[in-house]
Structure 1
């Protein structure tokens, strides 16, 4: 099995750590510093026939790599393995990849007679203005952008992984509950959205989120019961009766009264959004000006253990 490793030395757990000395001789290890370098490295891996691609980084590194797989590996992407060295690692949590998993352990698992392989289909964000598409697993606007910015401050205080998620969520809830209808948390953002070609709804939204993950940190289930496919959460602004709605939302409980209060969740094939607001894809904030379309990409194979 030909093995290639994309390592991000700037990922949280990799700072100050050198892996090259302990990398097996038969493994190709690269540390691309730019998108252009990453493209060239992935093309070289494809030409060399790499069958197992190990991504040593966080969710942002995974997003950058899988976004380029269609243009470098074509229709036959390699088996992927994650070494979760980021600050949150939501995809690794979803897949059940052990925290602190090493390259040697991943290689041993891949070469065993019974590797655990799981499939996940990324979502694809396509910009109307022709910017390169992004493949990821978590997309959001509105309060989700503010929560993402808050999480970076939480990380700076030394909280990571599930603790970071808990503190960030608590901060967002407190900020929303304590603000009035005109508060920046509650006021929402203006956008037009259509699900699967249905009639476009133009209104201020408190939050819009989408994911293809099945399991989120802390067991949160804002999209409902765990399942395959592209799932969305759409909440009107300002959010109504949030203290009462929050337990049902976060636990995934199916409450018939939620849509009537402006809380909608479900499954989609295509999500069409027109806005001038920023948006988030896997922990990074992007300019969403103009419009985007979110669809489901072909499934990828991941080595889980």
Structure 2
């Protein structure tokens, strides 16, 4: 269960295997796949006529007032659900009406909740998705090249145009099956959970988007560098990682990230060169030479010494994780456990 209510407006890995297994580099795990960013011609799809709009009225910088000229327009169905129950009811209605496009007005958390619920109602027949950034970080919008001043009117016009691009989400399943699959674009554990808590503090003082990311990153590094030997940031969290080929590792990780995004806020490149597919970063605990390594790592360097120093990158379609502490998915913190983290089916996104 999430530690906070989901709809609230807030918005390689293994370079060596312990336990006597062979020493491996992240390159050995790298999975080659075709590029997933494509341009589609909406007009060849017969044109888009039915649009469902979901607005989170409590999201930061919400733009819902722009909807008033469109609420009575033919083919546009507007809703502003405030609970999970209302969200599911709205999406069931959209699915029954056969919408061609789903416009989401909100931040990363709203997008996570809407797409997660939408997969339960649309299945493999997901509509095209348009995003109007109205959150605190808007990482998906940044990756898609959506301008911060994009309006609902502009998004509706783009829906009727030809430009589409694809992104595959990250799917999180619990092995025990007690909760539905969750869908997002940025998964993190270890220090990322604590950094997310710092980000919430920066939001309270009015820092958003890139500024919030920068302040949180700086705060996390400072906590790690200047904390004592037994500092919770430095000692990390015990995590078991299992690969599809049966190999696994279990040890304390300072940080674990997984994402299908190709561009991150502030131009950060923790996964190395931008590329499609699910990418992972694992940092051993305690992190070595963090003051030197961190800026080189987030700048996208793929220097071989990073892996030797405990900074591991991996491309994968699926990994199993077991962690006692929580994890974060697109800004929301959830309880840990046995998880399957996998690359999901590609979704079509409307772009300018």
Q: TM-score, normalised by structure 1?
A: 0.95
Structure number with greater CO (CA < 8 Å, separation at least 6) is 2
Aligned residue number for residue 130 of structure 2: 81
Deviation readout 1:171-227 (Å, 9 max, x if unpaired): 111111112331111110111112334422111110000000000011100001000
Aligned-partner SS, 1:14: coil
User: SS of the residue aligned with 1:227?
Assistant: coil
> Are residues 1:95 and 2:144 paired?
yes
Query: For the residues of structure 2 that align with 1:126 and 1:245, how far apart are their CA atoms?
Result: 32
Q: Which runs of 5+ in 2 are unaligned?
A: 1-48
Q: 1:43 & 1:28 partners in 2: Cα distance? A: 12
- Offset from partner CA, 1:239-297 (integer Å, 9 cap, x none): 01112211221111111111111110120121111121110000000001x31010111
Secondary structure, counterpart of 2:103 in structure 1: strand
User: Is this contact kept in 1: 2:66–2:152, CA < 8 A?
Assistant: no
In the alignment, structure 1 segments of 5+ residues that lack a partner are none
Partner of 1:70: 119
Distance of aligned partners of 1:20 and 1:220 in 2 relative to their CA distance in 1, 3 Å threshold: closer
**Mapped partners of 2:245, 2:224: distance in 1:** 31
What's the Cα RMSD here?
A: 1.3
Q: How many Å separate the matches in 1 of 2:252 and 2:295?
A: 23
**Alpha-carbon distance in 1 for matches of 2:301, 2:67:** 47
Which residue of 211, 217, 220 maps to 2:268?
Answer: 220
In the TM superposition, what whole-angstrom CA distance separates every residue of 1:155-179 from its partner, at most 9, and x where no partner exists? 0000101111111111111111112
Conserved? CA contact 2:54–2:78, under 8 Å: yes
From 219, 228, 247, give the equivalent of 1:199: 247
Q: What is the match of residue 18 of structure 1?
A: 65
Q: Is the 8 A contact 1:197 1:270 kept in 2?
A: no
> How many residue pairs align between the two structures?
301
Aligned residue number for residue 303 of structure 1: 350
How far off its partner does 1:20 sit? 4.5
- 1:247 paired residue number: 295
User: Can you list the C-alpha shifts for 1:23-65, whole angstroms capped at 9, x where unaligned?
Assistant: 2422111011111211111111111111111001110111111
